[in-house]
């Protein structure tokens, strides 16, 4: 059974990006090399500041939507907890 990750990435301009992947390290490397999302490509990936693990892609997608709906301050609270 594969694992799915929901992650929050901090960019060099302090913006936050939320995404999902089944290989967290490979996805972060893609972001750093400019081959990740268009959003991160223009802002430059700094570090992954939060991640959660799920057994199914559908649950990870659901959680990604929940996190994306949060305000920036709520995301920072989540990261701090």
Tokens of 75: 């995301």
Query: Is 19 in contact with 9 (CB distance < 8 Å)?
Result: yes
What per-residue confidence (pLDDT) applies to 43? 94
Number of H helices, E strands in the chain: 4, 3
What per-residue confidence (pLDDT) applies to 81? 73
What per-residue confidence (pLDDT) applies to 56? 96
Q: How many CB atoms lie within 10 A of CB 78?
A: 15
What per-residue confidence (pLDDT) applies to 2? 87
d(CA 37, CA 40): 5
What per-residue confidence (pLDDT) applies to 26? 96
What count of residues does the chain have? 81
d(CA 60, CA 47): 20
Query: What is the tens place of the pLDDT at every residue in 2-59?
Result: 899 999 999 999 999 999 999 999 999 999 999 989 999 999 999 999 999 999 999 9
d(CA 51, CA 62): 14
Q: Domains in the chain and their CATH numbers?
A: 4-80 (3.40.1440.10)
């Amino acid at each position: 059974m594969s694992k799915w990750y929901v992650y929050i990435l901090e960019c060099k301009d302090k913006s936050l990006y939320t995404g999902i992947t089944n290989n967290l390290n490979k996805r972060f490397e893609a972001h750093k090399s400019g081959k990740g999302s268009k959003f991160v490509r223009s802002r430059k990936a700094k570090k992954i500041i939060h991640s959660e693990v799920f057994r199914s892609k559908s649950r990870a997608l659901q959680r990604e939507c929940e996190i994306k709906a949060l305000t920036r301050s709520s995301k920072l609270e989540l990261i701090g907890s």
